[in-house]
């Protein structure tokens, strides 16, 4: 059986990481369709916003580098809406798996809640589709040429495992930005990543969001700690579910 994969991201249709991941999936032998935001949509979580004002969402055919013959679509919407549309057949037959990335920057800790990359994967889960979010840990200052191929090579070791897992499974993969990296280690979610967002009051009716390095030891066995130590990490995530442990 041929696996049909939707490739998306939150960095936008022009991201080199998106094209690299799609090429890796094609090389793996799966059937690929690429549909990604026409513009950057980082930090959009599972938002369903679109540029259309009347329920219509603009879709433009694109050809990505090194992907001749692979259907590509630039969509004026956030990645979660793209996945929702794909699950309902907007880009051909609904996908068997959704691969989201490669994101420029790590997605670790509970802050994955805010990631458009992870939000796309969690949205796939709600439709019973297996999904993998892939991120490259470039730190606060990305190199001019991030190691996209390293992230794709590590992700490729997870593809078949993902396809064999129960429907709706979501995996979150983070890869260090280096020339090579070993297979991913299973990791728990840290409370925060190695970098967190700090809110500053400018005193003029506005606030500023700034990135700050977390001080102190990161929890052993957490995704943030293992990634900081140079390991690739993989974490299984659960999408929205009721909490039966709360007394009401």
Q: Where are the domains of the chain?
A: 4-190+219-237
Interior angle at CA 111, CA 100 and CA 208, nearest 5: 110
**What number is the average pLDDT over the span 190-210?**
65
pTM of the model: 0.91
- Given this model, what pLDDT does residue 64 score? 95
pLDDT of 116 strictly over 80: yes
Separation between Cα atoms, residue 245 and residue 121, nearest integer Å: 26
Share of the chain above pLDDT 90, in %: 73
pLDDT digits (tens, 9 = 90+) for 148-169: 999 999 999 999 999 999 999 9
Task: Report which listed range, 26-35, 133-142, 239-248, is most confident.
Answer: 26-35
pLDDT of 211 strictly over 60: no
- Given this model, what pLDDT does residue 144 score? 80
Burial annotation 89-107 (CB, 10 A radius, 16+ → b, else e): ebbeebbbbbbbbbbbbbb
Q: In 3D, which of 44, 214, 64 has the Cα closest to residue 117?
A: 44
Please, which pLDDT band fits residue 40 given cuts at 50, 70 and 90? confident
Q: In 3D, which of 21, 32, 46 has the Cα closest to residue 96?
A: 32
For domain 4-190+219-237, give the fold: Stationary-phase Survival Protein Sure Homolog; Chain: A, (3.40.1210)
């Amino acid at each position: 059986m041929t696996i049909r994969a939707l490739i998306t991201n939150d960095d936008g249709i022009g991201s080199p990481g998106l094209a690299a991941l799609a090429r890796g999936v094609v090389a793996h032998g799966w059937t690929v369709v690429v549909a990604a935001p026409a513009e950057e949509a980082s930090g959009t979580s599972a938002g369903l916003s679109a540029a259309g004002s009347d329920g219509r969402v603009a879709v433009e055919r694109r050809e990505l580098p090194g992907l001749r013959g692979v259907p590509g679509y630039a969509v004026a919407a956030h990645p979660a809406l793209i996945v929702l549309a794909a699950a309902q057949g907007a880009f051909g037959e609904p996908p068997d798996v959704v691969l989201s990335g490669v994101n420029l920057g790590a997605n670790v800790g509970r802050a994955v809640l805010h990631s458009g990359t992870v939000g796309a994967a969690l949205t796939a889960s709600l439709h019973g589709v297996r999904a993998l979010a892939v991120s490259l840990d470039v730190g606060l200052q990305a190199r001019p040429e991030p190691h996209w191929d390293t992230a794709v090579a590590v992700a490729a070791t997870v593809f078949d495992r993902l396809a064999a897992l129960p429907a709706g499974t979501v995996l979150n993969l983070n890869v260090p930005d280096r020339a090579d990296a070993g297979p991913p280690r299973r990791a728990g979610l840290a409370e925060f990543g190695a970098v967190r967002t700090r809110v500053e009051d400018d005193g003029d009716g506005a606030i500023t969001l700034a990135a700050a390095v977390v001080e102190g030891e990161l929890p052993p066995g957490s995704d943030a700690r293992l990634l900081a130590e140079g390991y690739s990490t993989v974490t299984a995530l659960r999408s929205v579910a009721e909490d039966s442990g709360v007394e009401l």
